[in-house]
Structure 1
């Protein structure tokens, strides 16, 4: 469909809801939008939404897998499967995310990303790779494989960034030796340094922030808080994340990683303009509960999926989320008493700003990419449009 008119819908903007709205798409862009009706030529496909919501497409900055596949599987088929799974839940753009692994396999994943990119015609689009690790704190490794965790290595990260120009963000612990030069080098290459799996003290986070670590990966998960040493209290990453007004934070709003009380606190302090909702989903997203694997299927970490989350077999730690994007929006509304506009902003406009794609994505505006999701009052997705192409439709007609 090169020309598509969505009409009789409810337009969702960052600060308002517009009833009886329409949105006209042509040549992969949003051309017109407004309230009422729009006269169009007979060659335009018209869809009566019957009062459903028209929202900017959801942007997932941190996702590992879904539908039984993981990006670490290192195959084109796996990449496409993850993308096609999440598009059914409103994700129109995502950052495929790696786990700690041997260097050769990271190169394989980067090769596969490049190979799969032109073949990704049925799922959510890709905004670039997110490398999570291996420069992480051993004490906050979570479910990351400890045998690959190490301090930043200048030659290694320069080689990796020289190998692929598809890396857009890299998560690491800012307190590690060499982390600040690492962050500086990332910024020189246009890559976002993100704070993750960190045991840093408050002061170390402040130094990291000055050095470029201005995004906290999965806030509250695998990061330090107040500790006592020699009877004295020391603040950690979480306290610094609140203190730094301009620190952006990711939230896995599956209702398990971060409970309702903390979701409310984060929203009250940071506001929707500094919160990005992410799934951090692993391969079991959109799959039945039971045994699964975190990371590469061949030699990944066995996990058990139960109670809406993946856990290590001994239940000692979470091992990734099985959330989908529409669930994140619904959860933040219901568990943190946030309005629809604010919840949508946290998975559209805010991540678009963080990733530097606000000029083309993240809001319903004329001239922007036609990344659109249609959902009902229960956040059930009925249609997902990626750059003007309908890539998921729940029924033959909405």
Structure 2
């Protein structure tokens, strides 16, 4: 039999619906080549012994700001590579670098850095394109976004930005702002995901947005309203709208802090694993010790403090970012939300791959797909991370 590059033995393969045992996974030229019975006489140039641990598709994180002490808004290649390597150690094999609301000069510098870092990124999670978070947000739901840069969608401005960078794959927007519906149509026509975020939209506005390109809700419950009153009358907010629209996808920060166990269970019960994408929304403190940190770029970011597994404003009046990692999300969904391992993994692999339109190459262990894989133990401690068939991290 033809000699293959890599085989993984003694692993329990995690699929979207079940766990397969007594199988050998074969990798050729960075792709999943075949799956055979464990007993095989075929040779391999390299053998990886999973030692009875789980072998799952690599985690896909659609919303990452930073990690390992770096933030994408630092605007340096070193920061990009550090973030990619940090999250790879926690099972993430691909991610979307995400911006914070900023000036255009800072944004354009990030675009240039992305192109350079994408080429040099050989030891970290693969970059899947840029996610712009802002500046078209509701002031009252801005969270830690810099209020100096908040504004309504302007066709001249966003056309310039879109023409400046072809790596933009997702843009988070408050859909109730003047011009936001037309903007959603533009994004849809360009094949860019329009996502609802930092918003006070009510049900009727969300439905209109959904019909005009907005297909995803950014970090459900964070930076948005639930049931609200206007002139004494109650209106359903974005949270209820996400539940009522069956085909609306949602992204959740499943760290057990931004969303406690009851809310995690509620979201899962209503939306199901097929419409939930787990995300870290991690800032630079991800993978770092607790203590002082900075949200955003080092030059003009917001001072924060990391404690209790989350970043907070110094006065502790609100959260100021997540420090989660992919393994923590899966662990939390299992331990706090009572979700099965295959379903928890599905929400950080197959579902985000579908949302991003890359399910033909990533998100499941299938023949012909990229050999992006992660091996972890019963406690979701990462043992090894493999990207395109290459082992880039071993515990």
Is the TM value for this pair above 0.5? yes
> Residues of 2 paired with 1:213 and 1:5: CA distance?
42
Residue 212 of structure 1 aligns with which residue? 213
- Which 5+ residue runs of structure 2 have no aligned equivalent? none
> After alignment, is 338-347 or 13-22 more displaced?
13-22
**Candidates 6, 10, 13, aligned match of 2:12:** 10
> Residues of 1 paired with 2:41 and 2:376: CA distance?
24
Equivalent positions of 1:229-308 (< 5 A) are: 229-308=230-309
> Residues of 2 paired with 1:49 and 1:214: CA distance?
38
* Consecutive aligned runs of 4 or more in structure 1 exceeding 6 Å deviation: none
> Residues of 2 paired with 1:335 and 1:136: CA distance?
32
> Residues of 2 paired with 1:379 and 1:288: CA distance?
20
Q: Does the CA contact (< 8 Å) of 1:2 and 1:388 recur in 2? A: no
Q: Does the CA contact (< 8 Å) of 2:4 and 2:26 recur in 1? A: no
Pick closer, same or farther for the CA change 1:2–1:170 going to 2, 3 Å. farther
**Candidates 9, 29, 51, aligned match of 2:31:** 29
SS of 1:214's partner is strand
Residue 382 of structure 1 aligns with which residue? 383
> Residues of 2 paired with 1:362 and 1:293: CA distance?
32
- Following superposition, the deviation at residue 36 of structure 1 comes to 2.4
SS of 2:366's partner is coil
Give per-residue Cα distances to partners, 1:95-140, cap 9 Å, x unaligned: 0000000011111001100011110000000110000000011010
Q: Does the CA contact (< 8 Å) of 1:7 and 1:37 recur in 2? A: no
- Following superposition, the deviation at residue 2 of structure 1 comes to 7.6
Q: Does the CA contact (< 8 Å) of 1:226 and 1:234 recur in 2? A: yes
> Residues of 2 paired with 1:177 and 1:48: CA distance?
56
> Residues of 1 paired with 2:318 and 2:40: CA distance?
53
Residue 321 of structure 1 aligns with which residue? 322
Q: How many residues align?
A: 393
SS of 1:169's partner is strand
> Residues of 2 paired with 1:324 and 1:2: CA distance?
33
- Following superposition, the deviation at residue 40 of structure 1 comes to 2.2
C-alpha RMSD of matched pairs (Å): 1.1
> Residues of 2 paired with 1:48 and 1:82: CA distance?
28
Residue 361 of structure 1 aligns with which residue? 362
Residue 353 of structure 2 aligns with which residue? 352
Residue 335 of structure 1 aligns with which residue? 336
TM-score, normalised via structure 1 length: 0.97
> Residues of 2 paired with 1:29 and 1:256: CA distance?
37
| 1:160 aligned onto 2:161 | yes
Equivalent positions of 1:166-177 (< 5 A) are: 166-177=167-178
Give per-residue Cα distances to partners, 1:319-349, cap 9 Å, x unaligned: 1100000000000011110000000000000
SS of 1:321's partner is coil
- Following superposition, the deviation at residue 202 of structure 1 comes to 1.0
| 1:179 aligned onto 2:217 | no
